[in-house]
Each structure stands twice: as structure tokens, then as C-alpha cells.
Structure 1
């Protein structure tokens, strides 16, 4: 017995020392997560407890305290709306919060459209999913500049003395994906269960807009004759900004057009192993809850890329000895993105955008311990699959170690994820509740209630229906 406890301790310590962010806080670790868990590890559809499950709709987005202050004038989906509108996006984007405190900036949104999974016999499973994802990523954007965006330049802010800046980038990217997942259970012994799975995804409707450049130094000074208005001064500003397609309203008939939107391929791989057969409820004849002591899982997700070869793309490069940005210019950039920046600062070179951009490739590890029947503690890690590249246009995920205590059964889940995001000084305390077909989740409650700043929380709301497999004692 002592030897078993020692080996279990070694396994738990290994996962705790390597650990990162869950897509839907808490639910992605649940044995009843189904489709939501399959997006992180496709092996879970093998030997599933579900006969079938249908996701009728799920929305998720990073938001901050402003979202509730300006309820009705906000947007959960700024990264998804940016390519298709020039109207009031500046105001809407200020209701979203970065999941990272400082560098890099990281905003995300997604819509999970109607999707389904079903079991084939006892050991195999198939899933078909459709979702739309959007990201905004920024690298080396000073806190003083970020604060100007959220607090505006016409509110009498204090001046900022001249200071160095350096290289920076800001990228908005969105796309949709259709995926097919298959899982099979290879081992079904009393105390040992092994499942593997894979997902193949077709990416389409992809669009990117970006600016990258260098600023020698910057300052914030008061506008002459206006005591409550400031301006941002950039010295020796060199830049490249571009897009794969100009901002325009979405036409569903064009979504598969290679002239307007880019496409690509990706895949996921996953494995799950369950150890132990201890937590059996002998008093309940129809108890289907898992009996394992320890569940280990690992997966690779979003391995692939998007190939941009669109017809109306544009890339502009140029430089300004001194660029002055006031509130009006700030709103133009916020509303129109790369288009607005090109209009404000015409470039000296004009070319097309012809590149390949990586999906947010990630490596996931997980150790799930059942301490008491129905009560679990999950140690999970998401890390970049490969080190960050020199290409700022490649999508990445933040490195996050998450500890999630949770209660679960077939009808409900309660989870409280505690996330340690690399680079953040404060821990993110989240919560997730699942009642029958409805669920709601937040990755960082403090990011929703704390006034000021740009830090936010990932929020999810969804609805699904299912049927469990018939079970015999």
C-alpha cells in the first residue's frame, strides 16, 4: 500500500511541476464534459458515458469590468466583429479584457455552433463540430499606452514623461473550423482503461489584420490650449501594417471564397488513461460514476496552419519621424484597424499579403485525482507546443497551470479553477456551474468585479442535450 501511495505521489508531482488554461473552466475536466472536453482531448469520445450529445449553442469571450458597466453597448465578440464592421468598435473593444496582465496582450472569443457526438457500440465514438474563433494578440505594448486606450485621451489624464519603447506588434485574426473526431478505447480492464483519439479540422473563412513596428521613444503631453486633452507622441516610428482582406460586411456566400478568405488544415491528438477501481457505490444499482483513483491525459491541439493567398490583400510599410495621435486618431485606429492606420499614415511601399500563419498549437497535460466519490482535483497544464517563433502573426496560447477542485455527476457539475498564468502577478480564481442542459463559467471572477485596468476573464455560456448509455450492474 505504501508503495502504491508513493508511486501516485510521484505521478501527481510530475504533472504539478509541468502545468496550463482550460477552454471552458471546470467543464473541460469533467467526465461529463463530452463535446466541450473533446476540443481539448479527442480521446474522451471513446468509451463515453453518452449515447449521444448535442451542443445547441455555446458562446465564450474574454471580458472585463466594463462589460457590465456598459451593458447593452458592449461586445462579447470584438475579435470576430473587427473584420466585418467599422462602426463603434473602439467603444466595444474597451469592454473586453486581456487574459494576461501585461506582455503579451491576449483577447479571445468563440462561437460553438450546433455540433454532435455519438457512441458506436461500447468503445468507439464520433464527433462533428463547427466553431468560429477570434483572437487579438499584442506584444510589447507599454502599460501607459494600453491605459490611454481604455481611459481615453480626452479625460485629463496625467502626462507621461518621455521613455523608450522598441519593437511591438498588434494582431487581430479570426477563422472558422469544421472538425471530425474519432476515439477508440483500447483497454478495458477492471483497474486500467486506455483511450486514444484524433481530430481532423478544416479551417476556412480566415482573415488577419495587423501592425508591427518600432518606436524609439514616446511621451504623453497636454494639447496646447486644452487642459483636459492629451496626445500621444511617437518619435522615430517605423511600421508595417496590412490585412488579408479589407474590412467589409460578412457575406456567407463568400465564406469559402479563396479570393476573400484564407483556409488551412489542422489536427488534434489525445490519449487518456484511468487507474484504479475503488470508488464503487454498492448501494446504488444504477450508479454510472467513474471509479478510478487517478486519470492521466495528454493531447496536442491545433497542429497546423492557415495559408493566406487572398486576392485583395494589402501590406504597407513606412516611417514617421514624429507621429502624433489624439483621441480622434485613436478611435479611427480602434474602429478601422489596419485600414485606419493606413489612412492616417500612408506608406512608402505597397505589396500583397502572402504568408502562412500557424494555428494556436498547444500541448496539454492533466492529472485528475478522485479524492472522495464524486469529488475531484485536477492539475492541468497548457503550454505552447513549440517555443514562440519570431513571427508575431503566429497564434499562440498563454502558458497556464490550473488547479481545479470539482464536484460532478451526470446531472450537474461545480468547479472552481485556480489558474496561474505565466507573466501574471495575481492568481485567477474562477467558477463554473452546470445544471442539466445549461452551464456558465468564468476563469477569473476578480477580473469582472475590479474597476479599472484591462485585465479580464474568459466567460462561457452554453446549452446542450444528451442521452446516457443504458447501464447494467
Structure 2
């Protein structure tokens, strides 16, 4: 296929534990990933396989089996919506799924707006991309409280819990957009050896953070009166700090660039890839420009930077309460309105301004990609959090993840089966990603879409793209 066109995109909701904005399952390793691989490793733009590529719209997030039961009553993009809407966020978020087992919690959603990459001759390429990302991070949220959030307190589905210990906890929602410019170049092109490097510069804008952190002595979930259908959450000796960089407000493009209303910052990505061998060179058709390497080694650093908040309408409140009671109405108020809702229900001391620097989800990626036979690859990759800071619950992060990905690929289509080993999970996640002409659809954990595997969710991406291949006959 020389050119492919995008038509539409799907809108859904998600929540995820412990995985930050994962790259698109499978496509971050593909030789034909183009724009989608460039956010993982910008060196892919060197020696480009596309004359141009256009992403019109791509949506990503995590879901679980409940999504398909309540489709139409939820949203893929809850972590992004939370900064700009309070409409039914509680209901929307209940179909989100965690990518990790139990603690910690991480929710994510992503929009890849119209973006494009262009080849600058045989050895160089550039890309301009616009993305919006949102995260919800939670640490030490007890399983019983997570369960009552899903099951509700007015359905009789929440089992009682008596006098359980708790401790320190945090729940943080963040979202931001970034406009990036990427360059990739091929520095070495001889038979059996190809070296590519790349770099990306990002301007981060429209950033917002809202959080609740504190310490709770003990908690219980008890029925109310004689009605077995109604329960309430009771917390003993709660000490908390709650804040936001800017109030929840409707989306306005002009406001996103106003440093008095939203946070901003700069970031960069760096990457390289080295292809060794030319094993499959003689097994290709004359106009086939597919890779002939035996092994590709690559590494990258992504999102190296931070967001600075010096907003004028921020607020931080501290407080303590000996006996806190939360019923379904209060639960929905907190879920829909976040820290603002919590402050309205449990007032604290006079507020102060929020002014901090928060790190982006900095990550180190290493990979080895082996071409087992022509068109079939086995990829081994490791993603690690880069330069973490202890005691900083507002810092965004990525999980330590090891992924094994068998895949088939050519210019027009591809199929991959990523197997992810995420730190803290009790078993691996087996995914499936397909790329067929202009359409791709990917899941990181197929079992998470089934009720039996509902303890964890699945990252899902859906998108459409258009491109024109960079062929040998075009060069000649």
C-alpha cells in the first residue's frame, strides 16, 4: 500500500494501575511504526521507511471487562477529562482497569492529535507531534476501598470490613499536552551495519495537578442501620493535605498557554539504534525495502524534563478529622470533583498557594530485536523508571517492565503478541496488536478484558494513519 487514509476514532474510558502512558503495544518495536515508534525512540526517523506519515487521531487508555458491559456510559479518557469536567466522572471511571495487580494504582489516557513525519532524503527525517496525556496515581489504597468504589455503597455488594489499619496514602491526578519536534539521522549505512540516532524537543503546556495525600489510622465499612443495602466508609483519625494547581475549568485553548492558569515546561528524548547483519538481503524482491538485519540493538531516554507550576488560582489545604464518614453521595462528590469536592466536604485550615516542580514520566528503554526468519521478529525490551526521587508522590513515573514480543510485519500489515512482565504483577500480561492498512488496534492484556481476569485491565489503542512508502524504485 502506497497511501492509506484515516477516517474516524473511537471514544472510551479507562483506568490503570502502575503503567504510565505505555507506548502502543507492538508498534513501538515495529520497523514500520513511524510516528508511533518515534515517541519511544526518535532514531526511527533516520533512514525513514516512509516518505511521509500522517496520524489524524489516535486514542489510548486502559479498560477492563466492565467497559463492554457499560459502553456508552464511560470514557477512554477519564484522566484527561478530570481537569476540565465534573460530569459523571465517578460513573465513567468505574469501567477503567488496572494494568498491575493491587498497589500502586495508575490510570492513564492519551490523545495523539493530528501529527506528521517527513523524510528528508534517504538518511534523515523529521516529525511534529501533538499529544495530550493524563495520569491518576494512587499509593496504598486498600483493596477493600478500591472494591467499594467499584461496587458502590448502596447496592449491598460491598462486604463489611472492621477496624483495618491503613497508614500513609496518596491519590494524584495530572494531565498535560506537549508539542514536539523530532529529528532522526542515519550515520552509518554499509552492508551489515546501520547506525541511527535521533532526538526530540518538547514544549509542555496546559498542565494541571490535583491531589490528596495524608495518613489514616484505621478504617471500617459498616452497614447503616438495619438496611443491608446501604453501607458507609468510616475513617479514624485522618490527617490530610489536599490541593490543586488550578480549579477544574472548561477547556479553553487560550487558557492552556497561560502560565497563570496552567503549568508548563520543557523536555527531550534521545535515542539510537544499531542494525547488525544482512542475512535476508538475497531473499527479498527487487523493490522490497524491508530490513535485512539479524539483530537490532536500541536504547532511548524519554520525557526527560519537568513541569513548573506557578499558577495564580492554586490552593492547598491541610486538615485533620477524628471521625470521617463517607456514604455513596459523598463518594460521588469526591470522585466527580476531586480535591475540590473533598475540600467542600471536609474543610481544613486556611489554604496556601501551590508552587512546585513535578517530573514528567522519565524512562530508560533498552531493546534487542532479532529477525528469526524473514518478516518474523522476536523483540526483548526493558523499560525502567529514570532517576526516581523518593518522597515525591506528585512525580509521574513509568513502571519497571520487561516485554517479550513475537511479531510478523511488512509494509502493509503486522501482528504482534506482547508478553509484559510488570513489576508487582503476579503473572504476565499477554497482549495482541494488529496493523492492517490504515487501521491499527492494540491490547496489552487480552485476559484483562475477560471477567475471570478482571483484577487487571488492558491498555488499548485505536487509530488510523496515512502514509507513502519510501521505496527503492522511488530512490532510483
Please give the range of the TM-score, normalised by the shorter of the 2 chains: over 0.9
1:57 aligns with 2:57: yes
Contact in 2 for aligned 1:22/1:382 (Cα 8 Å): no
Tell me if the contact between 2:66 and 2:95 (Cα under 8 Å) persists in the aligned partners.
yes
Mapping of 1:63-142 within 5 angstroms?
Answer: 63-142=63-142
Structure 1 residues 290-309: aligned runs within 5 Å: 290-309=291-310
Distance 1:21 1:273 in 2: 26
Q: Deviations over 1:115-144 (max 9, x none)?
A: 111111111111100010000000111111
The equivalent residue for 1:420 is 421
Q: Which stretch shifts more, 335-344 or 250-259?
A: 250-259
Contact 2:110 2:133 in 1 (8 A): yes
Give 1:277's aligned residue. 278
In structure 2, the CA distance between the partners of 1:96 and 1:69, relative to structure 1 (3 Å rule), is same
Distance verdict in 2 for CA 1:382–1:429, change over 3 Å: same
Q: How much does 1:389 deviate?
A: 2.6
CA distance in 2, matches of 1:35, 1:389: 33
Query: How high is the TM-score relative to the length of structure 2?
Result: 0.93
Structure 2 Cα separation of the partners of residues 398 and 424 of structure 1: 11
Kept in 1, the 8 Å contact 2:238–2:324? The answer is yes
Deviation of 1:349 after TM superposition, in Å, equals 3.3
Alpha-carbon distance in 1 for matches of 2:295, 2:162? 55
What are the superposed Cα offsets for residues 17-38 of structure 1, whole Å, 9 maximum, x if unpaired?
xxx9951111111100000000
Quote the residue 2:467 is aligned against.
466
Q: Does 1:370 align with 2:377?
A: no
Residue 253 of structure 1 deviates from its aligned partner by: 2.1
Whether the aligned pair in 2 keeps the contact of 1:150 and 1:453 (CA below 8 Å) is no
**Distance in 2 (alpha carbons) for counterparts of 1:93 and 1:179:** 29
Q: 1:22 to 1:188 in 2, by over 3 A?
A: farther
Distance 1:25 1:407, change over 3 A: same
Q: How does 1:38-437 map to 2 (within 5 A)?
A: 38-156=38-156, 157-282=158-283, 284-437=285-438
Instruction: Give unpaired runs (5+ residues) of structure 2.
Output: 1-19
The question of whether the paired residues in 1 share the 8 Å contact of 2:21 and 2:133 is answered with no
The Cα of 1:426 is off from its aligned counterpart by 2.0
Write the distance in 1 (CA, Å) between the matches of 2:344 and 2:55.
Answer: 43
Cα RMSD between the aligned structures? 1.4
Q: Which residue of 1 aligns with 2:12?
A: none
User: In 2, Cα distance between the equivalents of 1:244 and 1:365?
Assistant: 35
SS of structure 1 residue aligned to 2:101: coil
Q: Secondary structure at the match of 1:29?
A: coil
How far 1:453 sits from its partner (Å)? Answer: 4.8
Distance 2:328 2:455 in 1: 18
CA offsets per residue over residues 373-415 of structure 1, 9 Å max, x none? 0000100111101235311000001111110000000000000
> Where do 4+ consecutive residues of structure 1 move more than 4 Å?
451-454
Any conservation in 1 of the 2:378–2:407 contact (CA below 8 Å)?
A: yes
Deviation digits for residues 430-465 of structure 1 (CA, Å, limit 9, x no counterpart): 000101111000001111112585521110001111
Q: Secondary structure at the match of 2:351?
A: strand
Q: How big is each residue's C-alpha offset from its partner over 1:272-298, in whole Å with a ceiling of 9 and x where there is no partner?
A: 000000012446211111000000000
Inter-partner Cα distance in structure 1 for 2:426 and 2:75: 27
In the TM superposition, residue 99 of structure 1 has moved relative to its aligned partner by 1.5
SS where residue 164 of structure 1 aligns?
Answer: strand
- Cα deviation code 1:281-335 (max 9, x no counterpart): 4462111110000000000000000000111100000001111111111111111
> How far did 1:163 drift?
1.4
Deviation at 1:233, TM superposition (A): 0.8
- How many angstroms does 1:252 deviate by? 1.7
- Structure 2 CA distance for partners of 1:220 and 1:277, relative to 1, 3 Å: same
In 2, distance between residues paired with 1:262 and 1:455? 32
Retained in 2: the 8 A contact 1:318–1:349?
A: no
Equivalent position SS for 1:350: coil
Structure 1: gaps spanning 5 or more residues: 1-19
Distance 1:191 1:117 in 2: 27
In 1, distance between residues paired with 2:143 and 2:361? 25
